Structure 1
Amino acid sequence: MSKINVALLGYGTVGKGVYRTIESHQDRLQRLLGKEVKVVAILVRNIDKHIAPDEHVLLTTNYEDILSLPELHIVIDAIVGREPGFSYLKKAIDKGCHVVTANKEMFAFHGTELQALALEKGVGLGYEATVAGGIPIIQTIRQLLSVNHFLGIEAILNGTTNFILTNMRKLGSTFAEALQVAKENGYAESDPTNDIEGYDALYKGMVLSQLIYGGKPNIKSVKRKGITHIQPNHMKIAEEADLRFKHVVTLSKSNNEIQCKVEPVLVPDSHPFYQVEGVQNSVSLATDLLGTLQLQGPGAGMFPTASAILEDIIQLENEHKAPPAAKDSVTDQDALSQWVIFGGYLESEKLGSDIKIIEKLDDTAWVIEAEYIPLGLSHSSDVTIYPLRGKYERKKLPIQV
């Protein structure tokens, strides 16, 4: 073939970014691939809202029009939701097309089936853009899998929530006010539920889990908590103690079971996530040979996502043979965890001898240390509890209770 013909499914922010990047980086693509890369068709939902970027590009609402093109080599999925994206990509693979997707929800639930079908049909499947668009996390993990075993992952995977938490801390704003600013800046959708309640981060965690562990966590056992309940006074107290709120995905495996948590946590100034601000994402990979590797970059947006998609196009014909490789997470049995409790006065005798008060931050906030939080305390309506990641260093003199 003298050129590589590409169809775009979706022509919103991501789709437009892909089209513009293919056009602006044509010389680079031709040098790497040896052929011209040409977008020949674009699928849209409402044709009245779009104009074809070129008279030679087929703009259509009918996917069958695209599949019937005599020469089609790559289909790029830039739409959202499990359907119709899953069905579209299955048909493209059946036709013998390579496929690339940025659709994390669809891939979280159907990635395994698509990968098996692509292997059967002998075509490539790229999904770098499904997780942390500006960070080459999928390719990095694939490279590391050649020799490393993974021990666990901690990651900030949603730029919207990180932007909101940063603004709440810097401006002293409420959650609702920070969310409105995120919408005005194009970082939050009109319905932001997927972001602020942790679903988006969970889908990305599931994609990473399949790559590293060869399976997904039991969705019923996943702890998923959003950021809507974080109060400005929580932010203020945390800031005075050199702590910052981050919405973090944690993946680990023990006793042959994959664990996943998506929750707001507090990190001290010694933690690598402390300086991850705004719409940035960050991924911390714990491995047996390299130790812990930290990657950071923009999590989403028109051109970071387009960059990830074009990287996949370049890599489509490269085989990734390294299988999932992970070891059970090993924890020190004597190690204690730390939490910050916001609420009323804590009496040490009510907490029990297994819980140690590390520091009183103010009259309503305490840093505690224990092996676990008693159910009675964790389910209390009077307190809010956040895990601490990293070790809290006492800022004041020990308190007497």
Structure 2
Amino acid sequence: MNTIHIALLGYGTVGKGVYQTIKNHQSRFKALLGSEVKIAAVLVRNIERHHLPDQDVLLTTNFEDILQLPKLDVVVDAIVGSEPSFTYLQAAIKKGCHVITANKEMFAHHGGQLKALADQHQVSIGFEATVAGGIPVIQTLNTLLNINKITKLEGILNGTSNFILTKMRQEDLSFADALKLAQELGYAELDPTNDVEGIDAFYKAMILSQVVFGEQPQWNDVQRKGITEITAEKIKLFSGIGLRFKHVACLEKTETGIKCSIKPVLVSQTHPLYQVEGVQNAISIDADIVGNIAIQGPGAGMFPTASAVVEDFIHLYNPIQSTQYQEAQKKKAAAAPINWIITGEGLGQFKANVPLNSVKVLHPRVLLASGVEEDFANYVKEDPKLEYFQVFGEVNLLGKSKDNKIFIKI
């Protein structure tokens, strides 16, 4: 079996997430690609501060050691800052390697140059992880762009700022206290300037602009304002009339050019970003055919960002899933138990006669059952007095009655 060799630049939070994800999911790579995937080398700044779980992986502080590897197919960039990342990726592309980057600052500055160089050397470049962590926004936009014309994009692109605003509203905290909490939980750096002043979101917006419109606005023309002037009093005032502060990046192409802003705005309950809380990111996309699409998910962290990197890796090789893999996935899905709510007359007889995995009484008129869909449907459809509904999400059991029946609030 062939092996695809990867060099990893950086071994911080993102780098460790990529390393562990590749190491722990070899069976999926083999099924999808027909190849093993191996981390061949890891580049770090200080070799004494790091220890790799595999002794056969090269750990080095010298990028030239990586370029000299006899087998190298992909270089993954998990470094912070424009340099030396840009220089390293240029060299990797010239060597004939595919590259994947999670470095938003570098890619906002140099993405166009790297794409042109990659085309010249007939390799690919992936950058999904530069924008919104685990949310596949780049792939979504590339798909929409086949026919749809995107007219506007609005997004919460920084989980730290969103977390701070959420905690200020939910727990009546000051900005300083909410920031301190974010730092204690690892969401904010010791120097939080890039997050709270909108610099991080600015870089991401520039990358999105390049994807959506094929160009970026003049950086000096972009309106950028952070959240440091948002007070608990302001949040409380506007919450009382149903409005929430969100730090939003907005991109729109007008007759005079691309208009871009990153600033605090007030969002009403009718807007897709209203319910985006905590460290979540979200993108609201307006297009001329499909209308509005909103996607939401974890915007940062070890494994959400690693997920984006690894999905980029899969797309680089444009795999066609094997028939065996597809059939295995279908069987797995078909065999998975599904939760159902059953209501109507005849519940007692139903519970006694149906051999499902579990049947629980949630209410005198409501049962919760778990079973395979096909078998379950055959039992229920024979009784017209029963109604049944599939349950999405978990059912929170709130207590038990004296006869030990389980109830929830209806």
Structure 2 counterpart of 1:85 = 85
In 1, Cα distance between the equivalents of 2:42 and 2:119?
26
**Matched letter for residue 207 of structure 1:** I
Structure 1 residues 234-245: aligned runs within 5 Å: 234-245=234-245
In 2, Cα distance between the equivalents of 1:106 and 1:318?
25
| DSSP-derived class of the 1:275 partner | coil
Structure 1 residues 10-25: aligned runs within 5 Å: 10-25=10-25
| DSSP-derived class of the 1:312 partner | helix
In 1, Cα distance between the equivalents of 2:318 and 2:205?
24
Structure 1 counterpart of 2:253 = 253
Deviations 1:76-97 (A, max 9, x none): 0001101000000000000000
1:122: how far off? 0.5
1:318: how far off? 4.2
Structure 1 counterpart of 2:143 = 143
Structure 1 counterpart of 2:161 = 161
Structure 2 stretches of 5 or more lacking a match? 320-410
**Matched letter for residue 36 of structure 1:** E
| DSSP-derived class of the 1:195 partner | helix
In 1, Cα distance between the equivalents of 2:318 and 2:113?
20
In 1, Cα distance between the equivalents of 2:212 and 2:128?
14
In 2, Cα distance between the equivalents of 1:100 and 1:126?
4
Structure 2 counterpart of 1:43 = 43
| DSSP-derived class of the 2:176 partner | helix
Structure 1 counterpart of 2:216 = 216
Structure 1 residues 313-352: aligned runs within 5 Å: 313-318=313-318
Structure 1 counterpart of 2:288 = 288
In 1, Cα distance between the equivalents of 2:29 and 2:106?
28
Determine which structure has more spread, i.e. the larger CA radius of gyration: 2
Deviations 1:177-209 (A, max 9, x none): 100100111100111110000000010000010
| DSSP-derived class of the 1:56 partner | coil
| DSSP-derived class of the 2:273 partner | helix
The 4+ residue runs of structure 1 with deviation greater than 2 A are: none
Structure 1 position 112 matched with structure 2 position 112:
yes
In 2, Cα distance between the equivalents of 1:166 and 1:256?
35
Deviations 1:151-199 (A, max 9, x none): 0100000000000000000111111110010011110011111000000
Structure 2 counterpart of 1:191 = 191
| Contact 1:124-1:316 at 8 Å conserved across structures | yes
In 2, Cα distance between the equivalents of 1:113 and 1:34?
32
1:317: how far off? 3.5
In 2, Cα distance between the equivalents of 1:32 and 1:200?
34
Structure 2 counterpart of 1:278 = 278
**Matched letter for residue 198 of structure 2:** G
Q: CA RMSD in A?
A: 1.1
TM-score (norm 1): 0.78
1:71: how far off? 0.7
| DSSP-derived class of the 1:310 partner | helix
Structure 1 stretches of 5 or more lacking a match? 320-401
| DSSP-derived class of the 2:152 partner | strand
| DSSP-derived class of the 2:203 partner | helix
Deviations 1:318-351 (A, max 9, x none): 49xxxxxxxxxxxxxxxxxxxxxxxxxxxxxxxx
**Matched letter for residue 292 of structure 2:** T
1:242: how far off? 1.0
| DSSP-derived class of the 1:272 partner | coil
**Matched letter for residue 241 of structure 2:** A
In 1, Cα distance between the equivalents of 2:200 and 2:266?
20
**Matched letter for residue 242 of structure 1:** G
1:53: how far off? 2.0
| Contact 1:8-1:75 at 8 Å conserved across structures | yes
Structure 2 counterpart of 1:170 = 170
Deviations 1:257-302 (A, max 9, x none): 1111000001112222111000011101110100011101010110
Deviations 1:202-242 (A, max 9, x none): 10000010011111010110000000011110011011111
Q: Percent identity?
A: 60
In 1, Cα distance between the equivalents of 2:269 and 2:181?
26
**Matched letter for residue 14 of structure 2:** V
In 2, Cα distance between the equivalents of 1:211 and 1:45?
32
Structure 1 counterpart of 2:307 = 307
In 2, Cα distance between the equivalents of 1:221 and 1:180?
32
Structure 2 counterpart of 1:67 = 67
Deviations 1:342-386 (A, max 9, x none): xxxxxxxxxxxxxxxxxxxxxxxxxxxxxxxxxxxxxxxxxxxxx
1:256: how far off? 4.8
Deviations 1:40-99 (A, max 9, x none): 100000111001221100000000001110110000000110100000000000000000
Structure 1 residues 24-39: aligned runs within 5 Å: 24-39=24-39
1:149: how far off? 0.7
In 1, Cα distance between the equivalents of 2:44 and 2:53?
13
In 2, Cα distance between the equivalents of 1:198 and 1:311?
27
Structure 2 counterpart of 1:369 = none
